[in-house]
Amino acid sequence: MTSLQNRITLAAFPVARIALSRYRNILRIVHPPRSAGAGPTVRDLRATVGVPTMHRILQALDPSYRGREKQAPERLADLLGDPGRLLAALCRLPGPALALLEILTEIPDRSIPLEVARREVERRLGRSGVGTEAETQLTLHSLLLQIHGGAPQVKGRVILPWTLASPIRPLVRGLTLRFLNPGSVTITRPASSQDVLFLAAAVLSGSFQREMPKVTQRSELYARTKEQLTRIFFPGDDPPGTRLDLALSLARKQGALALSPGEARARRAAWETKARRDADQWRETLARIMDALPSELRMPLRDLVVQLRNGFLPVELIRSALEVQRHATPSSGNEGYYFTYPTFSKANQRAQKDIELLRAHPFLALGVTESGEDVLGLPSPVPSDTASRAYVQPNLEIILPPGTDPLLAFDAARISEVRRVEAVCLLALTERSIRQAREDGLSAQDILAILERVAPGAVPDNVRITVAGWASGPASARLIRASVLHCQDPAAIERLRRGDLLPRGALELAPGVWALPTGSLETTSKALRSARIDLRSRIEELGSPDGVLGGIRFKRGWYDEDGWEEDLENEWEEEGYGAPGGPAPDLEATENEEQRLGPVPDPDPALLARVAQSRLSPQPPPLAPTLAPTLAPVLPLSHPEQALPPPPLTKPVGVGMMPLSGTLFEDVVLRRAATGEPLGIEVKQGDGTVVRYQVQVDGCTERRGIRFLEGRRLDTQEDVSVPLGQILRMQVFDDERDMALDLAALSGSMPFRRDVPKVGRNEPCPCGSGRKYKKCCGKRG
């Protein structure tokens, strides 16, 4: 460690680098020479930084730091020289590194000593003696990425508790769930039965151990959950339908029991007995849930109750609209959440509105306490009523009496939306719910069979036809990128494979995933619609192809009739973290995402093989032989202006990051990786000159970078004569990790700066059409 007045060289391990890259605007990160050894390495990080900045960094890293400014270089060197302390310090930082460690260790206190982290790793990996400190770091790191790498594509509307969020994540791919504040479970849009059921299922299910294989199909998840529930609730040979009422009744079972004013003592006594019995039953249920939880998720019973409760109550809504008070119910002497309305006085219009709002909640009911206070809680349980029938009504409603076989209720809720759960359960079949069920893997026959089970022989014809129509309605395909089409419907896939709907040159990357040639979207979408395949093209509905293609998604941007449109300012607000060496998912950042994902199929092995072959082939693609003699002028470094000599190149030669997006990217990477066409790129050198290269595209990186093989430099004259297609200007890195670091910096504290001047709306369009920008490429919606 050298320590100079204004220059410091830090040796740090990857986690530290990630964290420090947040300070990229004040630190200049220098890429150390690649180590040839196969083992774990400690890599140097060099930073040029002034003393005041060091001081600030120290303050950020360590709240207990009280040193004087001039001591900062020494203290920082000291700190950075001690990985254990640095890790501990980093843990105090907000941001990706912190998030990772926090999730990993599940220790609410934001500081963990390295020893603890190491033990955690050992425990999780189930082996001891992880090894050296450096090795521990690497293991830790890879473990973090293992946990978070492929998974954090979570959408939707349920907030899960901090402790559950991380293990559940892999399970909730494609569900309408979302994570907000860690620490609470909240269903923000409770009308969706799917969410509620899933939440209950997830909590109940003991299946979110880390080693559980990735569940990509919701149907599979449902099947598992159901099995799990059966196991929990019906361990013996007890007939289903007489005991707990599954996920829906989880809510009811909490026994929010409201008392009527002026009711007789006898009634009160009876009520208390019942409440006690219910409480006992509830405790028993909780105990079972606890047993079913994997050991690392064990939590105090009280917390579990709170989380479950929170899961069924729109806490934020209540809190904002009303004054919330907690009451201990006198009967159970135990937990009990009631929300009183001090404002529910006569003629208080606001209270009336609140109450109307809350009444619309499918799981809540108003009650009246003995003292005459109005309370909000969960409806009192109703004895099961075997004499009553379940109905499917012609207006597409399902009515389930209390005591319906819970598994039947569960199935019914899968294909419908919950409208009201009280004495009877009201469900409504909607197009959305049926489509969702279909995406869960239920066929039209399955859905009709469920209806038939609900009301044997009494499903009205119009309901059948309508539901069957929805279930077999136009197949849907979606654009998961500007030029990547994804279709899940087997019949539609067959139809698409016939080839007449998709433009010439469309390439099936994976089953159901097609890359379309640039510019063919409009015609494709028309052709699809004419074949009764709905093309959902709004970006909110776009799924991520990350699993297939490796890349990022955009938060903003849309595809419309005029083509792909996105806001360059926000281009790097990415979220598909997961590159090895990349930053951790920032949980806060996923907060506003509402996109819903379906499972994306795994990449076509054949395609992968082709890509792999193209890379490894001793007979390189057509271009290579002619280029062989001219390989010498290799690609420049990422930061040509810095003085260090470039590290020797090994394969893969480089990674390009384009400030371009969407269509172009797909076209470049996917098509060229598959076809072997060369690509022209333009790289700005340290001295400001621009050099063009012709490169062989190898594939795409995890984060929308292009990985390419050796290229050759092009002369200006040659440039004119060689047909290269588009020449792309890009920033080039020596490997993906560096690019990831760069991206992390960008997505962290440093704003993205456009390197091309902004095109004014009234200026001529840069595409050369001669029209104004606003009339041409700048056109929106």
Q: How far is the CB of 640 from another protein (least distance, A)?
A: 50
- Of 387 and 632, nearer to another protein (C-beta) is 387
When asked if residue 529 is in the footprint of another protein (CB under 8 A), the reply is: yes
> Which residue of 288, 389, 684, 774 would you call a contact of another protein, by CB under 8 A?
389
Q: Tell whether residue 28 is a contact of another protein (CB under 8 A).
A: no
> Segment 342-371, which members bind another protein (CB under 8 A)?
346-347, 349, 352, 359-360, 365-368
* 383 exposure class (CB count in 10 Å sphere: 0-12, 13-18, 19+): exposed
User: What is the gyration radius of the CA atoms in the chain, in angstroms?
Assistant: 30
Please count the other Cβ atoms lying within 10 Å of the Cβ belonging to residue 388.
15
Smallest CA-to-CA distance from 110 within 40, 50, 62 is with 62
In angstroms, rounded to a whole number, what is the distance separating the alpha carbons of residues 22 and 1?
21
Nearer to another protein, 150 or 402 (CB): 402
Contact 400, 412 (CB under 8 A): yes
Determine, following the binding rule CB under 8 A, whether residue 530 of this chain makes contact with another protein. yes
Instruction: Give the chain's count of helices (H) and strands (E).
Output: 28, 24
**Least distance in Å: CB of 193 to another protein?**
18
Smallest gap from residue 212 Cβ to another protein (A): 39
For the record, the structure tokens of 644 come out as 């260090």
In degrees to the nearest 10, what's the CA dihedral of 425, 428, 432, 436?
Answer: 40
Instruction: Return d(Cα 308, Cα 313) in angstroms, integer.
Output: 9
Residue 160 or 455: which CB sits closer to another protein?
455
Q: Interface with another protein includes 14 (CB under 8 A)? A: no
- We find the least distance from the C-beta atom of residue 242 to another protein, in angstroms, to be 15
Residue with smaller CB distance to another protein, 461 or 641: 461
The mark string for 403-422 relative to another protein (x by CB under 8 A, - otherwise) is -----------------x-x
Q: Measured from the CB atom, is 360 or 644 closer to another protein? A: 360
Q: Which is nearer to another protein, 449 or 722 (CB)?
A: 449
From 158, 177, 187, 396, residue interacting with another protein (rule: CB under 8 A) = 396
Least separation in angstroms between CB 712 and another protein: 46
The amino acid that residue 659 corresponds to is P
When asked if residue 473 is in the footprint of another protein (CB under 8 A), the reply is yes
End-to-end CA distance of the chain: 56
Q: For residues 519 and 647, which CB has a smaller minimum distance to another protein in the complex?
A: 519
Minimum distance between the CB of residue 329 and another protein, rounded to whole angstroms? 14
Question: Which of 146, 281, 388, 749 forms a contact with another protein (CB under 8 A)?
Answer: 388
Indicate the residue among 373 and 439 with the shorter CB distance to another protein. 373
Q: How far apart are CA 77 and CA 57, in angstroms?
A: 12
The token pair that represents 2 in the structure block: 């050298």
Give the whole-angstrom CA distance, residue 525 versus residue 518. Answer: 13
Q: Which residues lie closer than 8 Å to 404 by C-beta, 6 or more apart? A: 241, 245, 390, 412, 425
To another protein, the closest distance from the beta carbon of 337 in angstroms equals 17
Tell me which stretch binds another protein (CB under 8 A): 4-12, 226-234, 405-413, 467-475. 467-475
DSSP secondary-structure letter at 295?
G
Among 3, 48, 142, 466, binds another protein (CB under 8 A): 466
Tell which one of 277, 532, 538, 754 touches another protein (CB under 8 A): 532
Task: Tell me the CA distances in angstroms from 276 to 13, 131, 257, 259, 468, one per residue in order.
Answer: 56, 54, 11, 14, 46
Q: How far apart are CA 486 and CA 519, in angstroms?
A: 17
What is the smallest separation between the CB atom of 202 and another protein, expressed in angstroms?
28
| Total of chain residues touching another protein, rule CB under 8 A | 54
Contacting residue, 95, 402, 599, 603, with another protein by CB under 8 A: 402
**Angle 218-233/193-204 helices, nearest 10 degrees?**
60
Element (H, E) at 93: none
Rounded-to-10 torsion of CA 158, 164, 165, 166: -160
| 287-346 residues near another protein, rule: CB under 8 A | 346
- Span of 325-333, 391-399, 540-548, 549-557 interacting with another protein by CB under 8 A: 391-399
Mark 12-37 as b/e (b = at least 16 C-beta within 10 Å): bbbbbbbbbbbbbebbebbbbeeeee
Stretch that binds another protein, among 67-75, 196-204, 315-323, 457-465 (CB under 8 A): 457-465
- Stretch of residues binding another protein (CB under 8 A), selected from 22-30, 36-44, 374-382, 669-677: 374-382
| CB of 718 vs another protein, minimal distance in Å | 44
- Placement of tokens 């207990």 in the chain: 64
Q: Could you give phi then psi for residue 163, rounded to 5 degrees?
A: -70, -25
**∠ Cα 680 685 691 (to 5°):** 30
Chain residues binding another protein by CB under 8 A are: 258-261, 263, 346-347, 349, 352, 359-360, 365-368, 372, 374, 379-380, 382-383, 385, 387-389, 391, 393-397, 399, 402, 420, 422-424, 431, 448, 458, 460-462, 464-466, 468-469, 473-474, 526, 529-530, 532
